[in-house]
Structure 1
Amino acid sequence: MNQKILETLEFRAITEQLKNYAETALGQQQIINLQPSTDFQTVQQQIAETDDGAQIYRLKGGIPLGSLENIGPHLKRLQIGASLNGRELADISRLLRTTTAIHRFFEDLQDDEVALQYAYEIVAELTLLPQLSQTLRRSIDEGGAVLDEASTTLKSIRGGIHQLSDQIRSKMDNYTRGSQSKYLSEPVVTIRDDRYVIPVRSEYRGQFGGVIHDQSASGQTVYVEPQSVMDLNNRLRQQQMAEAQEVQRVLAELSEALMPYLRELGANGEILAHLDFMNAKARFANDMKATRPVLNAENEVDLKKARHPLIAPEKVVPNDIYIGKDFQCIVVTGPNTGGKTITLKTLGLIQLMAQSGLFIPAEEESQVGVFSNIFADIGDEQSIEQNLSTFSAHMENIISILRQVDDKGLVLLDELGAGTDPQEGASLAIAILDHLGTVGCYVVASTHYPELKVYGYERPKTVNASMEFDVATLQPTYRLMIGVPGRSNAFDISSRLGMPESIVTSAKTLLNAESQDLNNMISDLESQRKAAETEYLDLSQQLKEAQQLHDDLESAYHDFFVARENQENAAKEKANAIVAKAQEKADKIINDLRQMQLNGANTVKEDQLIAANTKLKNLHQEPTLKQNKVLRREKRKQVLKPGDDVKVLSYGTQGTLLEKVNEHEWQVQMGILKMKIATDQLQKVAASEKQAPTRQFATLSSSGSHVSTQLDLRGKRYDEAMADLDQYIDAALLAGYQQVTIVHGKGTGAIRTGVQEYLKNNRRIKKFSYAPASAGGNGATIVTF
């Protein structure tokens, strides 16, 4: 990216604002060095990192870095063998503590399952040095002073210094509080030349003996070290020198301990600076109300309500700016002070911000490109030193642009062709735009020349635009209107300011017909645009209201059906509770009847018991399922016809349809039984289900094409029954059944005994046993292969 564009579009004003949000010195340095990138992947990653910072700021208030100094110079001093002072060691200690805190902070984010795109990878590069951090924290305080715990020797020396100081002060107090205090200028103890002294009146300087270390400016007071404390002061001084030597030894030892970790310390500093940079970008975006831009690989720019970031929010006018999809060149026409220059700068500066990984001052889902370079010729660049005219300065700049631009570049040209003869300037402007169109780059050019309005209509991939002007107030609105060329408002403005109508009319007659037609056409287009915009806003409001009504109705519809289902289910549950109690009593009665039958009472028939049980079970109501549409669709598939295999839901067994009795009942063959079954108790059996018995003692009738899971030998002679049994076992094995039922009845017991003997001697039989009492008891045998 050329550096001149950063100055022209005031990009450094953005970085100066951004720098105020950084907490660390290295983070601020990264911002100072910030440059727009021209690599798509790099820009994509930088924006994603800013998004990570924005998410952390939203959830946690930002990354807790605190103030950190640049430790780079400290590490360089260590590399050349120098020892660090206490303040420098405190800076490194603070960095190590921050490293641990940041690592723990991001672990907590991961535990909370906060999704971030790159931040976790960045933090993973940090190197934790807990032992080194503990050593520094124990030895150096926040201000860089060496602590007593740095070494046992230092702690002992400082203890001795404290004792000597107490002894000296105790002796000196005798002078300030005793009878000799009258010789003092004031009763205080002070220090001169690192020794304890008292202020003595000049005429009594010999009263205490000792050494005079200083005197006042007036000469009325001398500062005397009394003879009685000289020895203590000497010993104190020796201890202080020993303390200084021990402190230097500790600093050298700590500096030596850092030597193996210079690379890790430097890397940690860079990583924390990068996190600070991310955090600063997020906070800056929040205060600016900026949003994440969407990168478009085809360089299709679509800025929604874009604002110039350096204009106060209460003054800036948002604009929709788009280029690259349907056109690659915008020609903006209109009068001065209408906002053309600001519009060009807004587009260029937002692009620089996005390509630097920053969020942009525009609405959500705004698109930006990644241009190979951005060029601008904006403002009066007349060079007095080079003795160039305004036109010459612009031409030199444009010539430089033409030499460098490619098909991925963005060119911003303000007042193209201005500063020379209008006819020549317009021709030159058209030729420059044609050349840039041949290159294939993206261009936004502002101009006064009416000839370029026609150019905007005639050239492919080129569109006219203008800045709106309110004739009623004689003020620009600073709104960009793409697709509508600007028109001169000189006649309207003159009339409103009081220009005689005759003069205005005369001026209009002097205007050539072509220009007049063009102005009329622009006026009509502008009127149509305003009408369309009004209609659009009205329709948008109607659509919003209709959508709200639709949402309300849909919500009410859903609430109605949920409430109805809840009421139905509650009623059915209440009914089921009542039926359950009756079922218990009925089951007891039926079991008693069945037991009577097994004991020899033949007055109760099996089909009568089944029918009674069915009526009781039909009282049970199933709750309505929410997926009733699916159930209704499945029910439509259950088209029954004679010969179909069905599952009888009330018995939990399978049978074959014989004929339809009426609209609500079918005659069903279930083993040896023929019964009338309600249609809603029948479920058609799919082909894949026919071979899989649903109950261990289920009965299926033979329908010609398959083997039943039940063989009925009742009423047959013994030999015939044994032959049928042998054939049936073979057929059942071939059919792949796991289990079958042999109905032999009770009678004399001959067939039952024969069946039992046959099953004992057949190696293919795994086990067999009598059926449950409810399924025939010892009148049937269940066989498992």
Structure 2
Amino acid sequence: MEQQASEESQDELTLEQPSMSETEQLQDKTLKLLDYDTIRQQLANNTTFFEARKLALELSPSFDEYEVERLQNETADARALLDELGDLILESRVDTSESVARAALGGVLTGVDLLAVAESLEVHRRARSSVLRGAEKAPLLADIARIIPDLQELQRQVRAKIGRRGEVVDGASPNLRALRTQVRQAYERVTEALTGFMQSSAGRETLQDSVISVRGERLVVPVKAAMRHRVEGIVHDASNSGATLFIEPFATVELGNSWRELSLEEEREVLRVLRDLSTLVGAVADDIRLANRLTANIDFALARARYSHRLQAVQATMRWPTDEEEDASSEPKNTLRLLKARHPMLGRDVVPLTLGIGPGWTALVITGPNTGGKTVAMKTVGLLALMHQSGLQIPAEEGSALPVFKGIYADIGDQQSIADSVSTFGSHIGNVVEILKHATARSLVLMDELGTSTDPEEGSALAKAIIGHLAKRRIPLIVTTHHRNVAAFAEASENISNASFQLEPDTLRPTYELTMGVPGRSYAMAVAERLGLPEEIMEESRVLLEPQHMRFEDWLNELQDDRQSLQTNLEESERARADAEAIRNRLEEQVEYLADNRDDMLDNARRGIEAHFDAVRQKLRGMEASLSWSAPAGSSPEARSRIEEIRQEVEQVEEERAKLEPTPSSRRERVEERPIGVGDTVFVRGLNLEGIVAELSSKSKEAEIAIGKVRINVDRTRLSRVETESVAEKTEDKPPIRMTQPAEARELDLRGMRAEEALSQVEGFLDRAMLDDLSTVRIIHGRGTGALREAVRDHLNHHPLVQDFGPEPRERGGNGATWVSMS
């Protein structure tokens, strides 16, 4: 019996546990009640890349604190990037995912499809290069950008063979140009023969019109049906009325056959070009999908940044309790604080809302007149919490703080159902039951007009019991109500607080300003008197009021004045705290900068010491030389003393230089490599594929690469030889020759040169750097008018040997020099 009772009890516990589907349905209902779909649509309008728009329309809040932190940091990075570079448009007009999938399955894409793929590859390239240019401001987005595959060679192949309208150009293959010339000549021969027939006496008498038409891909002339017996030829078609026959004269059949044969051969050659390009797209389909996904993530972060900028939003401080702090015996730390927050759909002129929950209490009861702002305030809190957990910044002031809730549940508005025979009160209680089943201390619960639509006494009793139950479970709660005894219950409870909206005393218009810690006043008597209720009735109503009610109103007036003064002081202290945090963040950034730039600073110090060392050593040599010519050795004690001082100075400089000498492991080393030859397996940068060198052109720097059955011509600078196992084994036996490059090999000074001369120097300099296996070099162009700088950087932006570049730090020349990272 005991075992059976235990199993029954276990079954009851199992039945009471909420399923994931119920939780998701409750969350989805909350999103609809808080108008979250409008946020999705507004965010989607700020995207520019087609896949990013999908991400925005499918946006959902995350309930994992680490995911929320990552999304918020990405949005902050994106805002910093937009501030640094200006708006970054990654617009792609066509969704290429279907075309890429078709190519991956072996399908042949049209020229228009291939152009769309090339356009998306250009967007990928622009996203990668632009974000990496601002990597210092947006390190998280830079990490995403670095993973975007380099497919520029595929883009070049498509652009070289497909015209702007999607047609295959004449130079797409060696045979195509000749075939098209032959097709045009054959067509001209047919049309000349048909024109001669039309101009003959027989043609003038038998033709309906002097035009050449095409029927069934054959060139024909329109002949009167009655004259059919006078024109020998093949009938290909007839008009709807039957009065005209479209005939190909026997005299032009062979010419037409020649034209059609050449046209079909041309079509086969065009199809071969399209198939080869489609094969290349299919070969890197996974890379294209990855690039689409990464570019969409970048544009999605930029869209969140644009939307946040338009809302004048800030990043809320994130707070969440640890698992130990969720125990009921400990102090909860999921404090919610909003400073001058605004509902994102009400514009910037709305009265801002300052509201908080905790510390030390978890339930907030908001009272006040109808249309005073209670429901809007509650929906603002819920919607801003959802936005925060979706990676969006919130329209509020610095210093606002939000925890990461594990669930956000709302019961707002009249949700009665006539079809289901559910009343307004029944609908509210049904929602409350579901919320009580799912809510925990890590949830946020919003309840509008709790206890209404039923008997006031019973409704207020239920409201107090529900609020007390949630407060006891330490569940963050915001409730709106008209029941004064519910506000009194909150005032008497330790872990529940009051807040209220007021009316202007003179006009009785809503102020829409929330006062924390004070229950709402009743304006029924004042409104009735202003609307003209007879004085004798007003007097009688005042007499009927209980004395404690009048004392309560007087107490509220005094308390409201005191609270207003305290609120002003609190806001000032919050602003001061926010300023202090901002200063601390700036100091941390400066410390991080010093740590990141330590090597550059040491390099500068080392150069200064070496220059000092050279000067002192030169001085010593000059002193010794002058002594050897002027007087016998040792004849001048002062000279010997001076020489000794200089030698000591040399020793000190050598000691300082030794302290800054880099360790051997930090020096760049390289291995001598043989040039690429026919038969070598190579990796094609910009296509992310391996192929075999079939031929090396003697007239240009291109190489013909065989990738499967497809052969393409590629610039040799985009090729990297792939070592075979046998070569690798040999290199293991022989240690590579290690060389350290002098500082001059890593730096190029262009000051005083014209742009054309400078770019020629840059080209040779980059070639030498690649041969020397240098990872980073430096180009000095000076500040001047900026023309030389722009010419150099524009050249670097399209150079195949350059992976990335940017201005030097301020202490190394700033915009007067450019660092270059070799690919």
In percent, how many aligned pairs have the same letter? 33
How far residue 518 of structure 1 moved from its aligned partner, in angstroms, is: 2.2
Q: What SS does the aligned partner of 1:430 have?
A: helix
How far residue 217 of structure 1 moved from its aligned partner, in angstroms, is: 4.6
Cα separation, 1, equivalents of 2:484 and 2:67: 42
Alignment map for 1:589-668 (pairs within 5 Å)? none
Determine the structure 1 residue equivalent to 2:491. Answer: 457
Determine the structure 2 residue equivalent to 1:248. Answer: 271
Cα separation, 1, equivalents of 2:82 and 2:204: 65
Determine the structure 2 residue equivalent to 1:49. Answer: 74
Determine the structure 2 residue equivalent to 1:304. Answer: 339
Please state if 1:154 is matched with 2:170.
no
Q: What SS does the aligned partner of 1:322 have?
A: strand
Please state if 1:428 is matched with 2:474.
no
- For residues 339-358 of structure 1, give each alpha carbon's deviation from its aligned partner in whole angstroms, at most 9, with x where no partner exists: 21111111101110110001
- Please tell me the residue identity of whatever aligns with 2:47: A
Alignment map for 1:680-691 (pairs within 5 Å)? none
Determine the structure 2 residue equivalent to 1:333. Answer: 367
Given that 2:48 and 2:89 are in contact with CA atoms closer than 8 Å, whether structure 1 keeps it comes out as no
Determine the structure 2 residue equivalent to 1:118. Answer: 140
Distance 1:201 1:313, change over 3 A: farther
Distance 1:515 1:159, change over 3 A: farther
Determine the structure 1 residue equivalent to 2:766. Answer: none
Q: What SS does the aligned partner of 1:118 have?
A: helix
Determine the structure 1 residue equivalent to 2:759. Answer: none
How far residue 469 of structure 1 moved from its aligned partner, in angstroms, is: 1.8
Determine the structure 1 residue equivalent to 2:305. Answer: 282
Distance 1:354 1:187, change over 3 A: farther
Gaps of 5+ in 1: 545-765, 776-785
Determine the structure 2 residue equivalent to 1:7. Answer: 32
Cα separation, 2, equivalents of 1:166 and 1:470: 90
Q: What SS does the aligned partner of 1:420 have?
A: coil
Gaps of 5+ in 2: 1-23, 321-332, 577-632, 643-823
- For residues 681-718 of structure 1, give each alpha carbon's deviation from its aligned partner in whole angstroms, at most 9, with x where no partner exists: xxxxxxxxxxxxxxxxxxxxxxxxxxxxxxxxxxxxxx
Cα separation, 2, equivalents of 1:140 and 1:526: 75
- For residues 282-312 of structure 1, give each alpha carbon's deviation from its aligned partner in whole angstroms, at most 9, with x where no partner exists: 2222333333333234433222222212234
* Correspondence for 1:346 among 357, 380, 389: 380
- For residues 295-336 of structure 1, give each alpha carbon's deviation from its aligned partner in whole angstroms, at most 9, with x where no partner exists: 23443322222221223445x332122223354221101122
Determine the structure 2 residue equivalent to 1:622. Answer: none
Structure with the greater alpha carbon radius of gyration: 1
Please state if 1:374 is matched with 2:408.
yes
Determine the structure 2 residue equivalent to 1:402. Answer: 436
How far residue 49 of structure 1 moved from its aligned partner, in angstroms, is: 1.1
Determine the structure 1 residue equivalent to 2:216. Answer: 193
How far residue 251 of structure 1 moved from its aligned partner, in angstroms, is: 3.2
Determine the structure 2 residue equivalent to 1:502. Answer: 536
Cα separation, 2, equivalents of 1:147 and 1:187: 33
Determine the structure 1 residue equivalent to 2:85. Answer: 60
Please state if 1:514 is matched with 2:514.
no
The more displaced of 483-492 and 143-152 is 143-152
How far residue 205 of structure 1 moved from its aligned partner, in angstroms, is: 5.8
Given that 2:445 and 2:477 are in contact with CA atoms closer than 8 Å, whether structure 1 keeps it comes out as yes
The more displaced of 489-498 and 52-61 is 52-61
- Please tell me the residue identity of whatever aligns with 1:305: K
- Please tell me the residue identity of whatever aligns with 2:169: L
Given that 2:50 and 2:91 are in contact with CA atoms closer than 8 Å, whether structure 1 keeps it comes out as no
Cα separation, 2, equivalents of 1:499 and 1:334: 22
- Please tell me the residue identity of whatever aligns with 1:369: P
Q: What SS does the aligned partner of 1:397 have?
A: helix
Please state if 1:99 is matched with 2:133.
no
Please state if 1:40 is matched with 2:65.
yes
Given that 2:104 and 2:283 are in contact with CA atoms closer than 8 Å, whether structure 1 keeps it comes out as no
Cα separation, 2, equivalents of 1:509 and 1:96: 81
Distance 1:524 1:259, change over 3 A: same
- For residues 116-153 of structure 1, give each alpha carbon's deviation from its aligned partner in whole angstroms, at most 9, with x where no partner exists: 13011001111113333332332334554433333333
Determine the structure 1 residue equivalent to 2:158. Answer: 136
How far residue 522 of structure 1 moved from its aligned partner, in angstroms, is: 2.3
Q: Give the TM-score taking structure 1 as reference length.
A: 0.63
Q: What SS does the aligned partner of 2:168 have?
A: coil
- For residues 747-768 of structure 1, give each alpha carbon's deviation from its aligned partner in whole angstroms, at most 9, with x where no partner exists: xxxxxxxxxxxxxxxxxxx978
- For residues 1-41 of structure 1, give each alpha carbon's deviation from its aligned partner in whole angstroms, at most 9, with x where no partner exists: 73222122121221122112222332122223222112222
Cα separation, 2, equivalents of 1:355 and 1:80: 39
Cα separation, 1, equivalents of 2:416 and 2:317: 38
Cα separation, 2, equivalents of 1:343 and 1:300: 17
Cα separation, 1, equivalents of 2:96 and 2:568: 61
Distance 1:236 1:283, change over 3 A: farther
- Please tell me the residue identity of whatever aligns with 2:77: D
Please state if 1:127 is matched with 2:149.
yes
- For residues 646-696 of structure 1, give each alpha carbon's deviation from its aligned partner in whole angstroms, at most 9, with x where no partner exists: xxxxxxxxxxxxxxxxxxxxxxxxxxxxxxxxxxxxxxxxxxxxxxxxxxx
Cα separation, 1, equivalents of 2:526 and 2:316: 41
Determine the structure 2 residue equivalent to 1:700. Answer: none
Given that 1:198 and 1:225 are in contact with CA atoms closer than 8 Å, whether structure 2 keeps it comes out as yes
How far residue 399 of structure 1 moved from its aligned partner, in angstroms, is: 1.2
Given that 1:23 and 1:68 are in contact with CA atoms closer than 8 Å, whether structure 2 keeps it comes out as no
Cα separation, 2, equivalents of 1:534 and 1:365: 15
How far residue 532 of structure 1 moved from its aligned partner, in angstroms, is: 7.6
How far residue 85 of structure 1 moved from its aligned partner, in angstroms, is: 4.2
Larger RCO: Structure 1 or Structure 2 (Cα < 8 Å, ≥ 6 residues apart)?
A: 2
- Please tell me the residue identity of whatever aligns with 2:182: G
Number of matched residues? 547
- Please tell me the residue identity of whatever aligns with 1:153: N
How far residue 449 of structure 1 moved from its aligned partner, in angstroms, is: 0.4
Cα separation, 2, equivalents of 1:67 and 1:386: 48
- Please tell me the residue identity of whatever aligns with 1:468: Q
- For residues 577-619 of structure 1, give each alpha carbon's deviation from its aligned partner in whole angstroms, at most 9, with x where no partner exists: xxxxxxxxxxxxxxxxxxxxxxxxxxxxxxxxxxxxxxxxxxx
RMSD: 3.5
How far residue 230 of structure 1 moved from its aligned partner, in angstroms, is: 3.4
- Please tell me the residue identity of whatever aligns with 1:289: Q
- For residues 212-270 of structure 1, give each alpha carbon's deviation from its aligned partner in whole angstroms, at most 9, with x where no partner exists: 44455555555444554433333222233223333333333333334443332221121
Given that 1:471 and 1:492 are in contact with CA atoms closer than 8 Å, whether structure 2 keeps it comes out as no
Cα separation, 1, equivalents of 2:463 and 2:479: 9
Cα separation, 2, equivalents of 1:124 and 1:310: 37
